[in-house]
Each structure stands twice: as C-alpha cells, then as structure tokens.
Structure 1
Amino acid sequence: MEWFSSPDYWWSRLVLQRALAAVYLVGFLVAANQFRALLGERGLLPVPRFLARTPFRRSPSIFHLHYSDRFFAAVAWGGVVLSAAVVAGAADAVPLWASMLIWAVLWALYLSIVNVGQIWYAFGWESLLLEAGFLAVFLGNAGTAPPVLVLWLMRWLVFRVEFGAGLIKLRGDRCWRDLTCLYYHHETQPMPGPLSWFFHHLPRPLHRVETAANHVAQLVAPLVLLTPQPAASVAAGVIIATQLWLVLSGNFAWLNWLTIVLALAAVDGSRAAALLGLPAAPAQSAAPLWFQVAVLAATGLVAVLSYWPVRNLLSRHQLMNSSFNTLHLVNTYGAFGSIVRLRHEVVIEGTDEARPTAETVWREYSFKGKPGDPRRLPRQFAPYHLRLDWLMWFAGISPSYARPWLRPLVARLLENDPATLRLLRSNPFPAAPPALVRARLYRYRFTDWQELRRTGAWWHREPVGELLPPVRSAR
C-alpha cells in the first residue's frame, strides 16, 4: 500500500505534532489556573451542579465518574505534563501504539474539561483543538511515514475553518461586502492587543485592502489548499501569513496559532526541508496493517460526519462555531459574521461605604486583558486565554450574556474570594472586602494621535448607564 504513506511530509508532521502539543499545553494550563473560580465547587458555574442536571450522553466526561476540585486539578496538570512530554519528543520515542495512546489520552482529558466547561468553554477554538487532537492520534510518529489520508483530513479541517469563516462574512454583515468592517473591528474586537490601536489608525484605504485580502485568504486559498503541490503549499503560506497578521492585531486565544499549525499539513515537507537546509527524513518503516485499518476507519468516520458541516456550509442559515456531536468531531467553524460598531465595556466598582451617597468614592476592579484604565496599553496574552475577560466583552454587547454568572461574580468579590481575585489584575480592597459592588457600562473608543500625546491615554471613555445596581454582601 505505497499510496498509504507520504515520507516527504515527515518534517511537516514533526512540526505540526510538536506545535499542536504546545497548544494543548496552553489549553490545559489555562484550565489549571482558572477552573476553581469559574467551574470549581465554589465557582461561578460549578461543575457539580452542571453534572447533576446533565447526563453522560449529553456531555461525555470522566468527571461524571467523580468530581472534586482536587481531581480536576490533577486532570488539568496531568494534561500539562503530558503535553510538555510530547513537545519534548516523548510520542516519537515510544512504539506507534503507545504514541497513539498518548494522543488519545490528551484528547480524552481535554474533551472531559470542555464538556463540563459550560459557557466558559463555548468557543470555537475548543472544538478546533479537540478535532485536531483526534486527527493527531492517527498521524503516526517518527517510526512510520505520515499517512496520506490523515494529512488530507487535516487539510479538510483547515478548509472548513477558513472557508466557513469566509462564507459567514459574505452572508452576514454588509460591511464585509463593502470592505468597511475593519473601520471598526480593531477597536471593537473582544480583546485588543498592544498593536490594535495602531492597526485601527491605519488609513481607511488600507483597511479596505485588509478586508479584501481576508476574503482572498478565506474564500480562495482554502480551495487551492485542496489541489496538488506546489499550489497547496502556496495556499498554506497565504493562510499562515494572514493568521500571523491577526496575531499581531489582536488576542484570539489559540485560534490563529492552531490554524497556522494545521495549515502545515499542506506544506510539502521535503521542499521546505531543502529550502531551509534541514536534514533529509530518516528511514521510516511501512505502516503495520492494524494502523492502516485504524486510519481507514477514522477516515470513514470523518467522511460520514462531514455531511452535517457540508450541509451547514451550503445553507443560507449557516451556523457559526457549532458541534454536531458531543465528541466535538468534524465541526463547523466561522467568526465575526457581524461586526460591533461601538465598544461598550462593563466596569465593576466597589466601595467600603455602607451607605453610598453622591460623594461616595467607587474604586474600580482592574482586569488582566480587557480594557479598563484608559491609560493602560492593551497587553498581548494570546495564545493564553483569559476566559472571564472574554465573557465580559460579551456582557458589554448584551446583559443577557452575563445573566448566569455576573451576580455570582459580584458575590465572590464581596467576600474577597482568593480564587476569583486571581483572575483579576488588581484588587482595590486588599485589606478587607468592600461593602458594596456595582457594575456600570461605559462607551470606549480609541483616542486619536493628538489625544494620546496630550493625555497619554489609549482609550477615551464615557459612562452609558448602570448594568447592575449596588449589591451588598448577604452576610
């Protein structure tokens, strides 16, 4: 079965697998650092409460067998250690069956976290990581040549990510069709980065070029990705360059980095190795029969499950970032079908005065990533994912997004809960909890060059109204 393997893609697989393991590592690290406040037994949306009302068939997870904060921490930190081992080459240093088992364990552990993560894990890049991780189980290791079918499944995944995003834009907001969306996007995106202010102030003709280039990368390059070499490598290069542009312009967790990693499956490894002066691929043995059967079975499964995302791509009512099964396999993707024109930020404030008056001083809680202090330049966090900060952006769009968790968040702040405070940049009440906490809505916009020179502020903000009136501790 010479058609089964492609030794020329050895370097592509090596880089793809190590980089994918690095993304896994980030995902598990985020879970380990944030779960107590968000999902723990005293979290904003506790896992035990979710498990009590959700059967296993709707959310397959090892936590249905047992849950405790200590066990969740063991799962998350275990994932960090195992991911780091794969980055260091552990999966290439063991037999093929053991390598597949390592990748399968990583997938099962992260699936268990996502399936109890509720709204905190309702992001497209969670499903993307799980789908990519499932395919990686069947990519083999250094002892076998990369299977052609799995490399094509990786291309099919990148195609759905990019083409789905392109179609959702064409079918969505009119500004994508008249090339004006980037007049607003750099300013109103969920979590701007340190260069977003500068991207926003590019000349408007360049914004139109950005938008047009995005359409090429998401609607043309994915089609070329499915053609023979060297065209497929060129298309992968276009996708990678576009994703790097997005990395520079904002914070989108690991979405951009994972898309870059997956695009490597379409890069001709032998040509890349020759171009970069890398050594030739080592001798690789023929794939054993049982591995060939496993790859064919996985390919058949993906082919069957592809019916739903293909139907979604062809639908006028295209869904964005949806899974059609509880294992998050063969999903549909897409982002920013509509663009927010105005940026509204939720600002949480507290006071130690038990009876507030018009003269009461309210002190602001500072978040790590989301805009707060107008004089603070946005920071770069991606591929690390600040889950609470992202949900605060959604709350600024509509209070309904915050309904399940905002009041519990305020309750934790009223008691200076250590796990919750670790999600924040600073606590204005380090000595004792505040007497009252409230949430206000502000309109934010980037300053212009003159305002920046005069005030040193990157943002201008003005109050819009009250999102949550002052709340007092229940004690």
Structure 2
Amino acid sequence: MEWFSADDYWFARLLFLRALAAVYLVAFLVAVNQFRALLGTDGMLPIPRFVARVPFSRAPSIFHWHYTDRFFATLVVVGAVLSTLTLVGITEILPLPATMAVWLVLWALYQSIVNVGQTWYSFGWESLLLEVGFLAIFLGDNATAPPFLMLIALRWVLFRLEFGAGMIKIRGDTCWRDLTCLNYHHETQPMPGPFSWYFHHLPAPLHKVEVAGNHITQLIVPFALFLPQPVAGIAAGCMIVTQLWLVISGNFSWLNWMAIVLGLSVLPDGFWRTVFGLQRLENVLLPTTSTPLWWAVLVTAVALLVLVLSWAPAKNLVSQRQAMNASFDRLHLVNTYGAFGSVTKIRWEVVVEGTTDPHPGPETVWLEYGFKGKPGDVHRRPPQFAPYHLRLDWLMWFAALSPGYAEPWFTAFVTRLLAGDRATLRLLRHNPFPDGPPRYVRARLFRYRFTSRAERRATGDWWVRTEQSTFLPPVSLSARTAGHRR
C-alpha cells in the first residue's frame, strides 16, 4: 500500500518516538515526586475529594474506580518504567499489537493523572502530551512502515501549537504588535532560567527582532509544514531553532521540548543521511513485513476521527474570541494551544515566611522559605529545571498576579507548613525550621526586577526586590483549625 507508507521517515519516526518517551518519563517522574503533597489523600487538593464530586464522564480516570496513595504511586512507577523501556528501544521491537499496547498504557495512565490533577495539571503542555501520545499509539513498530496519515496528523498538531500561539499574541497585548513585549517578558515570565538575566539585557532593537522572528515563525512558517519536502523540513527546522532559543531563555516545563519533538517527525530521512550518514542504518530501518490490512484500516479510522474532532479547534484558531489551551473533548484528543496573549510588565513574587515566636510583634524574626525554582533569594541565580516541572513554584507565580489564583490550594499549603508536613517540605529548596514547624506563617508581596549591569557588578545580585503589601497576615495552626471548624 504505497499510499499508506511514508518510506522516507523511518529515522524520523524513531527519533520522534524516543524523544516522546523521554518527555513521558519526565512527566511521570514529576508525578511520582510531587503527587503526595499536591494531590495525595492528605494533599492540598486531594484526589479522593475531587472524584467524589466530579463524575467519571467529566473527568475520565482510573482513580474514579480506586484510589490510594500507594496505588497512584504504583501506576506512576509503571508509567516511568514503560517510558524508560520505550526510550531505550525495547518497545519498538515488540510485535505490533504489543507496541501499541505499551503506548496505549502510557497514554491512559497519564490521562488518568491529568483528569484528576485539577489546578496543578491545568496547562497546555499536559493536553499536548496527551494528544501527541494518542497519535503515537498508531505510529507502528520497527516492522511496519511509518503511516503517512499519522505523520500528517503530527504536523497538524504542530501547526495548531505554533499558529495558535501566534494568533493569541497578535490579537492580544499591544506590545506584541509594536514589538516591545520582550522588553519585559524575560524578566516577568513565570520561572526565569539561568540565562534570562542576559536575555533581558539584550539591546531593545534586538528584542524587536526577536518578536518579529517569533511572528514569522508562528504565523507564516506553519503553513509550509504541509508543502512538499524540503520546504516542510525547512519549516520544521526553523521551529526547532526557535524553540531551542526559548529553552535557553526560560523554564516552560516540556512545552518547548514537545514542539521540538513534533518538529523531528517532519524531518525526512534524507536530511539525516546528509548530516549523519544514515545510509549505514538502512538495513536496520527497512521493514521486515508488509503492512497488515487491519493496521491500515485502524490508522485510517483514527485519522478520520482526528479530522472530525479538528473542526472546533480549527474554528477556534480564526475566532475573535480565541480560547487558549482548551480541550474540546474529555480525552484531550484534539486541542487548542497558545500562551502569553498578555505580558505582565511588572514582576510580583509572594515570599512565604515563618517564625517560632508565640506572639509575633514588630521585633519578631521571620525566616524565609526557599523555593526550588521561583525567585526568592536575590543572590541566587535563576536555575534551570525544564523540562522538569515544578508545579508549586509555577502556581506561586499566578498567586502573585492575583489572590484569586491562590484559592483554594494556598491556604492548604500554609496549613501544611504549620504542620511541618514532610511531603510539602520536600517540594521546597530550603526549610528554615529543620527542628520543628513554625508557630506562625505569613506571606508578603514583593516587586522583583532584574539588577542592572552596574548593580550586578557592585553587589553580585541577580534581583532587586521591594516590599509592596501583605499577601497573608500571620496565621497559626490553631487559627487554621478553628477557622476550618467554623
């Protein structure tokens, strides 16, 4: 079936699937390391409480049928193990039904987590991993040629990811249209990285070039994905380079890496032959069996399903009320994407502190909790964490923008600090109370900005911060308990 097979994409499929398995592995490691404090039975937003009020039909998940922290941990470890086996190439040498089953289990497990993850899992990269992970089920194994329809479906995802982000920007903040958004973005983005300070201090004209390049890459280049090679490959290459630029300028979980992974699926084997001498691998990559009829029928049916489900996301792309990072079906099969339609011009940070003083007053000494990723200590250089995702740190950025984003998890977070909850403390970089929990916790709102070059030379600091207001007045565990009883 010549129409079905894409014979110049064997290595592209191999790279794509291995890279996607790596992203899955990171996602499952994030879950296993953070779920007890965030979603566990005694977590800030417990899964048992969620599944008790939200039916399966609205949030399909294994955990509607059974949940314990141990059960959750077991399934997440299974996901991590299967991801690792796929990453090292075991999955692709299995018989086709077994290969499909592994990818199906990965997708179903992560679907189950996302659908009960609530605020912690409410971002576009979660739906993106699920959408792409679903298509991976139907990409075949080493014995079957890459299916052309699924490769086109992957390009359709990449198109919506890039074009949707571009449309959100061009319709949004005026700074995207006057090319000044990056005068602020590197400083005010949710979690700056180790090079963000340097990006922020690039000359203003270069920032305009960055924004203009972003518009070209997101609003024009995506259409070239559907043109013949080498044009489609060149378009994907432009997107990969742009995404690598974003990778080194900030921490955006695995969003940028997923775009890169999708871009790899567009690069034909001819590209890799030229660059790396792929012809030496052709004996390994050529199929050993013909394409099964059932497989061709199944892949075609899935492609038609994607086409039908794409109507709402495609309509959203051209809508004046374009939704950002929205799912149009319960299983996140075809979604819409986009980010930073508006850019904050001032950076706000919530600083959380505690004290052992039983009667806090003007002379009380307050000690600051340190977070792993978000800015706190002005002497600390912003770290690199992506593609690993620090969910608490990310939500703290939203909390600083508006107290409404902090409900209801922030109150639960403070309560767990007052109780000295070990799972919660493991989410932090520094606990200033190693010998026992504080008597009181408070939170203050600060304005942060990057130091100037002169300030950095003089002090060695990366940030300058100025207190603005009280975010949460001092509270004690007894007050939290009494408030809960009322």
After TM superposition, the score normalised by the length of structure 1 is 0.99
1:458 is aligned to 2:462: yes
Instruction: Tell me the number of residue pairs that the alignment of Structure 1 and Structure 2 aligns.
Output: 475
User: 2:473 aligns to what SS in structure 1?
Assistant: strand
Query: What corresponds to 1:37 in structure 2?
Result: 37
**Letter of the aligned partner of 2:338 in structure 1?**
G
> SS in structure 1 opposite 2:57?
helix
Paired position in structure 2 for 1:283: 286
2:97 paired residue number: 97
- 1:379 maps to 383
Contact 2:15 2:265 in 1 (8 A): no
CA contact (8 A) 1:38 1:120 kept: yes
Question: How far apart in 2 are the matches of 1:354 and 1:325?
Answer: 52
State the one-letter code of the partner of 1:326.
R
Query: Quick one: distance in 2 between partners of 1:59 and 1:273?
Result: 45
Q: What are the residue-to-residue correspondences of 1:362-377 with 2, within 5 Å?
A: 362-377=366-381
Equivalent residue for 1:432, pick from 428, 431, 436: 436
Shift of 1:240: 0.1
Q: Does 1:137 align with 2:137?
A: yes
User: Once the 2 structures are TM-superposed, how far is the Cα of residue 92 of structure 1 from its aligned partner?
Assistant: 1.4
* 1:112 alignment counterpart: 112
Q: CA deviation at 1:275?
A: 2.7
Contact 1:11 1:273 in 2 (8 A): no
Deviation at 1:212, TM superposition (A): 0.3
Is 2:472 the counterpart of 1:468?
yes
Q: Is contact 1:273–1:280 with CA below 8 Å preserved after alignment?
A: no
Aligned pairs for 1:150-189 within 5 A: 150-189=150-189
Of the candidates 285, 296, 299, which is equivalent to residue 295 of structure 1?
A: 299
Amino acid at match of 2:286: A
Distance in 2 between residues matched to 1:334 and 1:10, nearest whole Å: 30
Match of 2:398 among 394, 397, 401: 394
Amino acid at match of 2:180: T
Aligned residues of 1:11 and 1:270 also touching (Cα < 8 A): no
Which residue of structure 1 lines up, in the alignment, with residue 484 of structure 2?
A: none
Q: Deviations for 1:181-231, whole angstroms, at most 9, x for unmatched residues?
A: 000000000000000000000000000000000011101110111111000
Name the CA distance, whole Å, in 2 between partners of 1:6 and 1:415: 58
CA RMSD of aligned residues (A): 0.8
Pick aligned residue for 1:411 from 409, 415, 424: 415
Q: Distance in 1 between matches of 2:446 and 2:467?
A: 4
Partner of 2:331: 327
C-alpha displacement at 1:7, in angstroms?
Answer: 1.6
Aligned-residue sequence identity (percent) comes to 63
Distance 2:318 2:212 in 1: 22
For residue 456 of structure 2, what is the amino acid of its counterpart? L
Question: Deviation of residue 283 (structure 1)?
Answer: 2.6
- In the alignment, what sits opposite 1:60? 60
Q: Which residue of 1 aligns with 2:266?
A: 266
Counterpart residue type for residue 427 of structure 2: L
Counterpart CA distance in 2 for 1:169 and 1:340 is: 13
The aligned residue for residue 241 of structure 1 is: 241
Please name the residue that 2:320 is paired with.
316
SS in 2 for 1:27: helix
| Partner residue, 1:71 | 71
Unaligned runs of 5+ in 1: none
SS in 1 for 2:304: helix
Q: What are the Cα deviations for residues 400-425 of structure 1, in whole angstroms up to 9, with x where unaligned?
A: 00021111100000011000000000
Indicate if the aligned counterparts of 2:180 and 2:211 stay in contact, CA closer than 8 A.
yes
Single out whichever of 263-272 and 392-401 deviates more from structure 2.
263-272
**1:8 is paired with a residue of what secondary structure?**
coil
CA distance in 2, matches of 1:444, 1:25: 34
String of CA shifts for 1:43-75, please: whole Å, max 9, x gaps: 000000000001000000000110000000001
Choose 174-183 or 449-458, whichever is displaced more.
449-458
Answer yes or no: is the 8 Å Cα contact 1:191–1:250 preserved in 2: yes
Name the structure 2 match of 1:202. Answer: 202
Residues in 1 aligned to 2:474 and 2:39: alpha-carbon distance in whole angstroms: 25
Q: Report Cα offsets for 1:345-390 as digits up to 9, x if no partner.
A: 0000000001111111110000000000000000000000000000
User: Mind listing any 5+ residue stretches in structure 2 that lack a counterpart?
Assistant: 482-486
What letter corresponds to residue 130 of structure 2 in structure 1? L
Q: In structure 1, what is the Cα distance between the partners aligned to 2:131 and 2:4?
A: 22
Distance in 2 of aligned mates of 1:314 and 1:448: 41
SS where residue 411 of structure 2 aligns? helix
Query: Could you tell me which residue of structure 2 aligns to residue 148 of structure 1?
Result: 148
Deviation (angstroms), 1:304: 0.4
Shift of 1:274: 3.3
Distance in 1, matches of 2:260 and 2:95, equals 28
The question of whether the paired residues in 2 share the 8 Å contact of 1:440 and 1:467 is answered with yes
In 2, Cα distance between the equivalents of 1:301 and 1:249? 37
Moved over 3 A (4+): none
Match of 2:144, SS?
coil
8 Å CA contact 2:348–2:400 kept in 1: the answer is yes
SS at match of 1:464: strand
CA separation in 2, counterparts of 1:457 and 1:177?
A: 33
Name the stretch that deviates more: 428-437 or 282-291. Answer: 282-291
Tell me the distance in 1 between the aligned counterparts of 2:195 and 2:366: 31
Change (3 A) 1:473 1:262: same
Question: What TM-score do the two structures reach when normalised by structure 2?
Answer: 0.97
Match of 2:353 in 1: 349
What CA distance in whole angstroms lies between the structure 1 residues aligned with 2:396 and 2:269? 42
- Aligned-pair CA distance for 1:6: 1.2
SS in 2 for 1:107: helix
CA contact (8 A) 1:169 1:337 kept: yes
Deviation at 1:280, TM superposition (A): 4.3
